[in-house]
Amino acid sequence: MSQPTSAPMIALERVSRWHGQVIGLNDVSFQLPAGLTALLGPNGAGKSTLLKLVTGQLKPHTGRVIAMGMEPFANPTLASHLGYCPEIDNFYEELTGREFVTLLAAMNGIQGATAKKRIQEVMEQVGMADRCDRRIGGYSKGMRQRIKVAQAIVHDPDILVMDEPLNGLDPVGRREMVELMQSFAARGKCVLVSSHILYEVEQITDRILVIFKGRVLAQGNIHDIRDQIDKHPHHIRIITDRPRELAANLIFQPFVLSARVDPKDEKLIEVETHQPDIFYGALPKIALAGNFQIERFHSPDNNLEAVFRYLVGDA
Ligand SMILES: Nc1ncnc2c1ncn2[C@@H]1O[C@H](COP(=O)(O)OP(=O)(O)OP(=O)(O)O)[C@@H](O)[C@H]1O
């Protein structure tokens, strides 16, 4: 998806923020124009800290945060231009979804008939029109997620910040939520969405900001960053009945760099490849043709931590 580019709507200039002794964000600088950007990083990377700084819930200890030309901390003028969908559920369980969103809309100055009309529109947008008059206490995780998004967009903000918004949604819900983010961005808004799942981010946008241990590691096009990741040899472990024969077969495949039987476990083969997608596609065919029993296979590299360690040069 190509996106509009324009003057920065969010800028961080050498921002650091500690939580007591722990560093949440460490000397971070970047600029974001309008459009949809994903903030990708493993658990504890500093995503929530960054999003709270952008939305003015935290004050930087050093450096400056600028959103739409203003500093967000304790800034009510800016608050009406910002929408925030938090990671945690912080609801009044006795209220209905509609009552909750009405309350938050009122805090942004939307009241009376305007509020009524707008809230109905928003409930339809997030797929809650038929359920928003039920008590939040009885909602599923996915319904709570949708109500969080409804309160974040009810005042049609210019900057929409969402902390792990796809958590708890089923595949249909995820698709609808991604479409909603994309349509927001297509209207010239700035949407910043955090996630710790690389393939999820690939389905949301091509523009990413990679964060790890409080630092921004990379910013740019996801395909360029994916290419860097793909240059890293990918390890796959296979448990099979005839490991020596299978390893001898695999080593002749053009997409395999190495295949060796583990000296400590004689049923285990360790494979290295630069093309894991091709490897996973070919393995069942190779097994069938050679009548190999594949008991199990997995990749120790499939977790994001390994990818991030590689990007920072620790791997
Ligand atoms: N209130 C707090 N008190 C102490 N440490 C904190 C606090 N909030 C965050 N941290 C620490 O700061 C670092 C960054 O946390 P942050 O929540 O920003 O990361 P994250 O990428 O959002 O992770 P997650 O997805 O697990 O929420 C972590 O080491 C975390 O333990």
Residue nearest to atom 5 of ligand 1 (CA): 19
Q: How confident is the model at residue 312 (pLDDT cuts 50, 70, 90)?
A: low
Residue with tokens 């089923």: 170
74 lines ligand 1 (CB under 6 A): no
| Secondary-structure class of domain 10-227 per CATH | alpha beta
Question: How is residue 204 written in tokens?
Answer: 């949301």
Ligand 1 center–CA 271 separation, angstroms: 35
pTM of this structure: 0.76
Q: Average pLDDT, stretch 79-95?
A: 88
Tens digits of per-residue pLDDT, 244-299?
A: 999 999 999 999 999 999 999 889 999 998 887 789 889 999 999 999 999 988 87
Residue 86 in contact with ligand 1 by CB distance below 6 A: no
Ligand 1 mean position, distance from CA 79 (Å)? 23
Residues 66 and 11: their CA atoms lie apart, in Å, by 5
CATH of domain 232-312: 3.30.70.100
Residue spans of the domains in the chain: they are 10-227, 232-312
Count of C-beta atoms within a 10 Å radius of residue 76: 8
Q: Which residues contact 171 (CB under 8 A, 6 or more apart)?
A: none
Which atom, in ligand 1's list, is nearest to the CA of 25? 14
* Residue to mutate (ligand 1; options 12, 16, 17, 19; most atoms within 8 A of CB): 19
- CA 18 / ligand 1 centre spacing (Å): 10
Report the complex ipTM.
0.95
pLDDT, tens only, 163-186: 999 887 888 888 888 999 999 999
Q: Where are the beta strands (DSSP E) in the chain?
A: 10-19, 22-32, 35-40, 62-67, 82-85, 159-163, 190-195, 207-212, 215-221, 234-240, 256-261, 268-273, 294-298
Same fold, 10-227 and 232-312: no
Tens digits of residue pLDDT in 66-75: 999 999 999 9
Contact call for residues 179 and 280 (beta carbons, < 8 A): no
Round the average pLDDT of the chain to a whole number and report it: 88
